[in-house]
Amino acid sequence: MSDTEDGWADRLRANREEKDDFFGEHPQSPIPPEERDDFDGLDYFDPDADYRVEATVTVHEEPDPVEMETSDGRTVRYERVVTFAFELDGETRELHGYKQTPDDDALFVPFRDKTTGQQTYKGGRYMELEPEGELSDGGEVTIDFNLAYSPFCAFSETFSCPYPPEENWLETTVTAGERYE
């Protein structure tokens, strides 16, 4: 493993420890208060550099609205603002990035894959991308599936979470990020 990958994995582990501390102790944790004493950390797949992929960007100048169903039966409206094309498991794949409002800094990238409902949360997982600068057609960004996480509704029914739309269902196994067993 190279020094660059080593540093990346160390930063990822530190990020995970910080998140575990938040989930176990913070008043705004999604873990119900009565369950926090027994919480000993989230489950994660081992860091894997193969799940850090370079994606080519296609910006949608006139974003299409996308209605996403939520865990509490409502629907929420997002706009598809960007498409990412990348290689994973030897095939070209696509994921879409969404925003609720044009002012949102981060891109919301919810997805499902073949681990969904088995090794990962049944409602799918999320990633958030905060690209440096403005995205442009043909530009590249790194998508790191090691940062994929379960939404708060995986831990408590008091949260309402959007489910990934079918266009973000990957027909492959992504053994990276948070597990949910």
pLDDT tens-place string over residues 125-181: 999 998 887 889 999 999 999 999 999 999 998 999 999 999 999 999 999 999 986
DSSP 8-state secondary structure symbol assigned to residue 46: P
pLDDT tens-place string over residues 147-162: 999 999 999 989 999 9
Return the half-sphere exposure (C-beta side, CA atoms, 13 A cut-off) of residue 49.
11
Two structure tokens written together for 83: 């498409």
Residues sharing a CB contact under 8 Å with residue 60, sequence separation 6 or more, in sequence order: 80, 81, 82, 83
Write the CA distances from 128 to 142, 149, 181, integer angstroms.
12, 9, 22
Report the predicted TM-score, pTM, of the whole model to 2 decimal places.
Answer: 0.92
Give the integer Cα–Cα distance in Å for 77 and 135. 22
